[in-house]
Chain A
Amino acid sequence: MSLQRFIQHALSEWMKGKGPQSDIVISSRVRIARNLSGLPFPMLATSSQSAEVVRRVEKALHQAKKHPVLGDAELIRMDDLNELQKRVLVEKHLISPQLAEESRHGAVILSKNEAVSIMINEEDHLRIQCLFPGFQPDDAWRLADQLDDWFEEHLSYAFNEECGFLTSCPTNVGTGIRASVMVHLPALAMTQQLNRLFPAITQVGLAVRGIYGEGSEALGNLYQVSNQVTLGQREDEIIDKLQGVVMQMIEHEQNARRRLRETSPIQLEDRIHRSYGILSHARFISTKEAMERLSDVRLGVDMGLLNNVSASVMNELMVMTQPGFLQQFAGQRLDPEERDIRRAVLIRERLSTEGNPEESGKTR
């Protein structure tokens, strides 16, 4: 498979698209947890009950032929995918590691542009997820809300008046909504301000995590900010609060970038160009180093200090240099050392096609 074709095939809309505030906010996501009434939650469901969940959802989906989003969506069963294919879906943030590894009769409905992914038989029967580029949690919520309404017309949800939508885990009960925004905060990290920022965020009831969710390490200065409370607040209140807090984070990051430019412009440029140099010439690079260097280069692009690369290339590379993607691209399983070599090749090739003046003229 050619690199170009693989990229086109491999990229989700959120990686290609330029959204609002995309110099700092990578993506906005909303997921809604729902369960069907009359069937135990996936943890206790028998194999035939789990199969029944998929059957009901698939039957509903058959009635969605004319739906603008679900009309051309595809239902993919985990059992039909190999390990590498599942891993790629995880790295593209379309499914969770749990669905890939542990689910029984797990499946996912993917819209054509991959902005919508609906997991079946993960922790809950349904996890409706909308992923948008840039800072637009309200748009992601609106779409998730519409899809939820559509499914509710065709399926009976587990709901009670007092507790709202019933979920497997008590941390999701009520609205079942988890809204999260992925932010790139290199300047705050460089100026050591995250230590002060994060405790403040947790104090207002939001959580900060690394990019692959719970317990994952923060690679490449990328952080996920999300709501914790799902019960007792309306969905729009939850979204508004998250939006307000992230808006302030954006402002802090902008200020930190401005200050860096004012106080240490040479050091900043040096760091960015050094990282660019390493990425375009390295023969061997780990995920961790690649993510750090990509973060620097991305900062350079976003601050206008580096003109021969586009921001979307940075988005692509941040996903494509992950282990699963590399192996998918290579078409075989690779040991860590081989991965580091392939990763370096991939980054070099991508940056060199990008550095071509004709190509970059188009992207800018």
Chain B
Amino acid sequence: MLCQECGKRPATLHYTKIINGEKTEFHLCEVCAQEKGEQMPGAEGGFSIHHLLSGLLNFDSHPQAGGQEQTGVKQETLRCPTCGLTYSQFSKIGRFGCSDCYQAFRERLGPLFRRVHGHTAHRGKVPQRTGGQLKIQREIERLKSELNQRVANEEFEEAARLRDRIRALREKLES
């Protein structure tokens, strides 16, 4: 596909902008995108991925919320308790304020991650040190539910064995 502005170079940036429900598609080459970037309000210093990104973030409206106003109210009240960043601020700057924002905006991030990455769950590396604890915690949770099952089935011998394992893991976690 060729750039819609110059019609010469290949379009490398593809995005959709939605303003007041009106959808506009853009297919630009780097050069024209940069020129266009200067015309866009707030796009100082060129046309970066973050400007594209904030477009994606604004796009994220909830169909079930019903009505523009309600969505607006919801965005405004969604605020990270740790750093104070609101979701609407996040959607403007395209950056999180702190690691707790991920928890605070959790319900809104799924669609965003899917659009940017095509996935929503991490499959890569886990921290060796703290990640080890994470693994133990997961194992304890798994054993606890198994323990409840055994107790319900009156399999007390097996339940006692599980209880000992949980205790051992808890001690390991605290050491």
Given the known interface contacts A215-B48, A234-B124, the answer about A44 and B97 at a Cβ–Cβ threshold of 8 Å is: yes
**A194 to B82 Cα, complex, angstroms:** 47
Contacts of B50 in A (CB 8 A): 169
B interface bracket (residues with beta carbon within 8 Å of A): 35 or more
B105-120 interface bits toward A, Cβ cutoff 8 Å, 1 = contact, 0 = none: 0000100110011111
| Identity of the chain B residue whose Cβ is nearest the Cβ of A194 in the assembled complex | B10
- Binding-face segment, B61-69, B127-135, B149-157, B162-170: B127-135
A interface bracket (residues with beta carbon within 8 Å of B): 35 or more
**A149 to B46 Cα, complex, angstroms:** 36
Interface centre among A35, A170, A205, A233 (most CB of B within 10 A): A170
- B96/A166 in contact, CB under 8 A: yes
Contacting residue for A198 out of B10, B34, B97, CB 8 A: B10
Contacting residue for B119 out of A171, A195, A217, A229, CB 8 A: A229
| Identity of the chain B residue whose Cβ is nearest the Cβ of A39 in the assembled complex | B98
A355 at the interface (CB under 8 A from B): no
B85 at the interface (CB under 8 A from A): yes
- Binding-face segment, A19-27, A103-111, A150-158, A284-292: A150-158
Interface of A is mostly: loop
- A153/B120 in contact, CB under 8 A: no
| Identity of the chain A residue whose Cβ is nearest the Cβ of B112 in the assembled complex | A170
> A-contacting residues of B (Cβ < 8 Å)?
1, 9-12, 30-31, 33-34, 37, 46-50, 53, 82-83, 85, 93-99, 102-103, 109, 112-113, 116-131, 134
Known: A170-B113, A215-B37. 20 other contacts (CB 8 A): A37-B99, A40-B82, A41-B97, A152-B129, A160-B103, A163-B109, A163-B122, A166-B102, A170-B94, A195-B10, A215-B47, A215-B48, A217-B30, A231-B113, A232-B118, A232-B120, A232-B123, A233-B123, A233-B124, A235-B125
